[in-house]
Amino acid sequence: MIEASPFSSLDHATSFARQLWFKESRIQSWLDAFSGQSHLFRAISYAPGSMMREMLHWDRKYRAKFGFEFITSTEKWCSQEILDEVKSHYENSLVVELDIAAQEEFKLIAVGLERLWDRENVVSSEISEGEDSAGRKGSMLSYDLNRTREENEYPYSGMSPEEKNAWHLAT
């Protein structure tokens, strides 16, 4: 996405991301993205006590069958809805569930792009001297999809791995 920016609109950015996610990403990339999620586990903290044990049971059962975390775009405080979803998804084959999980993950990607796009349209006029609203030096969170990589002064440009780590720890 960074290499392809700037984008003329949120639709352009989302369309590019959709192409990248569904047509150019390998399944291993999807699995890597899924592993960073734990929707069911996070939903457990919002579940009533009587439902927590059942959700933990289905979380383990789903991961054992499919090999990745259950992905849903359902709000995490909708515990019963998520529990019903995981139970019905458990009946799917791996191929079907992988497709559903990829679609759910892309919904989350699209929401993230929308938030980033909205944030950039509001924040870009408020930030000066490369600092974000918290006073930190620029990061991916302040990357403007409307600019080129060079215009954004991408923070990792030209840095060695050690410099990247030091920069990341300092921000």
Task: Look up residue 60 and give its two tokens.
Answer: 């383990």
pLDDT given at position 89: 96
Query: CA angle, 110 as apex, 137 and 169 as ends, to 5°?
Result: 25
Q: 42 φ, ψ to 5°?
A: -65, -35
Domains in the chain (CATH in brackets) are 45-113 (1.10.3330.10)
Q: Compute CA 36 distance to the chain's CA centroid, rounded to the nearest angstrom.
A: 8
Mean pLDDT of each 10-residue bin along the chain, 171 residues long: 82 91 89 78 82 90 92 83 93 94 90 82 44 41 56 55 51 42
Task: Look up residue 131 and give its two tokens.
Answer: 């600092």
pLDDT given at position 45: 82
pLDDT given at position 140: 41
| Closest by Cα among 84, 80, 87, 75 to 47 | 80
DSSP at 45? T
DSSP at 24? I
